[in-house]
Structure 1
Amino acid sequence: MQGKEFQFAGKRHIRWKLVLGVLGIVGAAVAIRWFWGSERATAQAPGPGSASTARSTPEAIPAPAPRGNSGASQAPGASGAVTSQPSQPQIVAVVNGEPITRDELRRECLRRYGEEVLESVVNKYLIMEECQRRGITVTAEEIDAEITRMATRFGMPVEAWLKLLKDERGIKPEQYRRDIIWPMLALRKLAGQKLLVTPEELQREFESRYGPAVKARMIVVSRRDLAERLRNEAVAHPDQFGDLAKQYSEDAASASLKGLIQPIRKHVGQKEIEDVAFGLKPGEISPVIPVANQFVILKCEDQLPAVKVRLEDVRAELEEMARDAKLRTVAQEIFQELQKRAQVVNVLNDPQKRQQMPGVAALINGRPIRLEDLGEICIDRHGEEVLELTINRKLIEQACKKRGITITDADVEAEIARLASQNLPPRADGKPDVERWVDMICEQQKITPEIYRHDLVWPTVALKKLVNADVQVTDEDLKKAFEANYGPRVRCRAIVLNNLRRAQQVWEKARANPTEENFADLAEQYSIDPATRALRGEVAPIQKHGGQPNLEEEAFSLKPGEISGIIQVGPETYVILYCLGFTKPVDVDFASVKDILTEDIREKKLRLAMADYFDKLRAAATIDNFLAGTTQSPNLTRRAAGMESTVR
Structure 2
Amino acid sequence: MPLQSARQLTIMTQFIRSLRRLLPSAIIAAAIVLMTAQSPANGQESLPAASQGSTNNIVAVVNADPISRKTLADQAVQRYGTDVIDNMINRHLILQSCQHNGIEVTKQDVTDEIRRLSSKFGLSMDSYLKLLKEERNIDPNQYSREIIWPMLALRRLVADKVDVTQEEFNQAFVAQFGEAVKCRLIMCDSEGKIQKLREQALADPSQFANLAKQFSEDESSASVGGLIPPMRRYSGDTRLEEAAFGLQDDDISEVMQLGDQWIMLQAVRRIPATSPSPQAMPAIREQISDRIRDEKMRSAATELFSKLQQEANVIKVLGTPELEQQYPGAGAIINGEQITLGLIGEECIKRHGEEVLEGEINRKLLTQALRQAGKRVTDADLQEEIARAATSYGILRNDGTPDTEAWMQQVLSTGNVTRNVYMEDSVWPSVALTKLVEDDLVLTDADLKEGFESAYGPRVEVLACVLSDQRSAQKIWEMARDNATDDFFGRLASQYSVEPVSSSNMGKVPPIRKHGGQPAVEKEAFSLKPGQLSGIIATGGKYIILRCQGFTEPVVTDPTAVQSELVRDLKEKKLRRLMADRIENLRTKAEIDNFLTAANEAPRVAEAR
Task: Report if TM-score (shorter chain) is over 0.5.
Answer: yes
CA RMSD of aligned residues (A): 4.2
- Of 11, 36, 40 in structure 1, the residue corresponding to residue 29 of structure 2 is 36
Map 1:508-587 → 2, pairs under 5 A: 508-570=478-540, 572-587=541-556
**SS of equivalent residue, structure 1 residue 627:** coil
Q: Provide Cα deviations, 1:158-191, integer angstroms capped at 9, x if missing partner.
A: 313223444xxxx542123112442255456767
Offset of 1:400 from its aligned partner? 0.6
In structure 2, relative to structure 1, the CA distance for the partners of 1:135 and 1:358 (3 Å cut) is: closer
Alpha carbons 2:395, 2:407 under 8 Å: kept: no
Mapped partners of 1:432, 1:160: distance in 2: 53
**SS of equivalent residue, structure 2 residue 332:** strand
Alpha carbons 1:622, 1:632 under 8 Å: kept: no
Structure 1 residue aligned with 2:280: none
Alpha carbons 1:359, 1:370 under 8 Å: kept: yes
**SS of equivalent residue, structure 1 residue 362:** strand
Mapped partners of 2:459, 2:292: distance in 1: 53
Q: Provide Cα deviations, 1:495-515, integer angstroms capped at 9, x if missing partner.
A: 111111111112222222222
Structure 1 residue aligned with 2:53: 87
Q: Provide Cα deviations, 1:513-556, integer angstroms capped at 9, x if missing partner.
A: 22222222211211112332222222111111100011111112
Mapped partners of 1:280, 1:134: distance in 2: 51
Mapped partners of 1:344, 1:541: distance in 2: 61
Alpha carbons 2:31, 2:90 under 8 Å: kept: no
Mapped partners of 2:524, 2:344: distance in 1: 60
What stretches of structure 2 of length at least 5 have no aligned partner?
1-12, 177-183, 186-215, 236-283
Map 1:332-351 → 2, pairs under 5 A: 334-351=304-321
| 2:150 is the counterpart of 1:183 | yes
**SS of equivalent residue, structure 2 residue 81:** helix
Deviates more, 1:82-91 or 1:455-464: 82-91
Alpha carbons 2:41, 2:102 under 8 Å: kept: no
Alpha carbons 2:118, 2:128 under 8 Å: kept: no
In structure 2, relative to structure 1, the CA distance for the partners of 1:303 and 1:329 (3 Å cut) is: farther
- Of 97, 104, 107 in structure 1, the residue corresponding to residue 64 of structure 2 is 97
Mapped partners of 1:321, 1:532: distance in 2: 48
Mapped partners of 2:15, 2:364: distance in 1: 35
In structure 2, relative to structure 1, the CA distance for the partners of 1:498 and 1:128 (3 Å cut) is: same
Structure 1 residue aligned with 2:129: 158
Mapped partners of 1:120, 1:581: distance in 2: 60
Mapped partners of 1:513, 1:329: distance in 2: 66
Offset of 1:380 from its aligned partner? 2.5
Mapped partners of 1:164, 1:306: distance in 2: 39
Mapped partners of 2:589, 2:537: distance in 1: 38
Q: Provide Cα deviations, 1:83-112, integer angstroms capped at 9, x if missing partner.
A: 896336722222222222222122112111
Alpha carbons 2:60, 2:596 under 8 Å: kept: yes
Map 1:441-520 → 2, pairs under 5 A: 441-444=411-414, 446-520=416-490
Offset of 1:304 from its aligned partner? 9.1
Mapped partners of 2:545, 2:580: distance in 1: 33
| 2:113 is the counterpart of 1:142 | yes
In structure 2, relative to structure 1, the CA distance for the partners of 1:504 and 1:377 (3 Å cut) is: same
Alpha carbons 1:426, 1:432 under 8 Å: kept: yes
Q: Letter of the aligned partner of 1:35 in structure 2?
A: I
**SS of equivalent residue, structure 1 residue 94:** strand
In structure 2, relative to structure 1, the CA distance for the partners of 1:450 and 1:120 (3 Å cut) is: same
Structure 1 residue aligned with 2:88: 121
Offset of 1:137 from its aligned partner? 6.3
In structure 2, relative to structure 1, the CA distance for the partners of 1:147 and 1:112 (3 Å cut) is: farther
Structure 2 residue aligned with 1:215: none
Alpha carbons 1:491, 1:541 under 8 Å: kept: yes
Map 1:591-602 → 2, pairs under 5 A: 591-602=560-571
Offset of 1:578 from its aligned partner? 2.1
Mapped partners of 2:218, 2:450: distance in 1: 52
In structure 2, relative to structure 1, the CA distance for the partners of 1:455 and 1:185 (3 Å cut) is: same
**SS of equivalent residue, structure 1 residue 349:** coil
Structure 2 residue aligned with 1:108: 75
In structure 2, relative to structure 1, the CA distance for the partners of 1:509 and 1:81 (3 Å cut) is: closer
Mapped partners of 1:148, 1:162: distance in 2: 17
Mapped partners of 2:470, 2:297: distance in 1: 49
In structure 2, relative to structure 1, the CA distance for the partners of 1:558 and 1:160 (3 Å cut) is: same
Deviates more, 1:428-437 or 1:96-105: 428-437
Alpha carbons 2:162, 2:297 under 8 Å: kept: no
Structure 1 residue aligned with 2:345: 375
TM-score (norm 2): 0.69
**Count of residue pairs the alignment pairs up:** 485
In structure 2, relative to structure 1, the CA distance for the partners of 1:488 and 1:552 (3 Å cut) is: same
Mapped partners of 2:322, 2:66: distance in 1: 33
Alpha carbons 1:564, 1:578 under 8 Å: kept: yes
In structure 2, relative to structure 1, the CA distance for the partners of 1:438 and 1:30 (3 Å cut) is: farther
